[in-house]
Each structure stands twice: as C-alpha cells, then as structure tokens.
Amino acid sequence: MEVNQNEDRKLETQSYSSFDELYSSITKEGSLGLLALGAKGLLLWRKKRAEIKAADKKEIKDEQ
C-alpha cells in the first residue's frame, strides 16, 4: 500500500499572530493543542471556559 505524500499536506495547522487571536479561538471544550502548551494552555482554557459559562448565565438571566 503506497502512502500519498500529499496527504500530510492536507492537514491544516493554525498559527496565531497574537495572544488575543489565540484566546478568541478557544472553545468551551478546549483542544489538544492547549494541552500541548502545558500549564499556560490549561489556564487559558479554564479562563475561557469560565467566561463562556458567565455569558451563558447572563443570557439565561436576560431571557427571564
């Protein structure tokens, strides 16, 4: 079975020009990439997750 060398090129890598750009791309679920950043990535994910939860609570409160 022959492996196509172009298959690896199909994988996209994301690069960020600023901290704000990286932070804004973090989802509630996080990513393996954040884990690769170590403690800093974990702290970023926790901060973003808390921010999203607070926004969700505010939205629910506003709907009532």
pTM of the predicted structure, to 2 decimals: 0.62
- Express as a percent the part of the chain with pLDDT over 90: 16
CB 23 within 8 A of CB 29: no
| 50 closest CA partner among 26, 14, 16, 31 | 26
| 36 closest CA partner among 51, 52, 53, 14 | 14
Mean pLDDT of 41-47: 88
Q: What is the number of structural domains in the chain?
A: 1
Decide if 21 is inside a domain: no
The larger pLDDT score, comparing residue 13 to residue 62, is at 62
Instruction: Extract the tokens encoding 49.
Output: 């997750």
Decide if 60 is inside a domain: yes
Domain that holds residue 63: 33-64
- 20 vs 54: CA distance, rounded Å: 19
Q: What is the pLDDT of residue 11?
A: 41
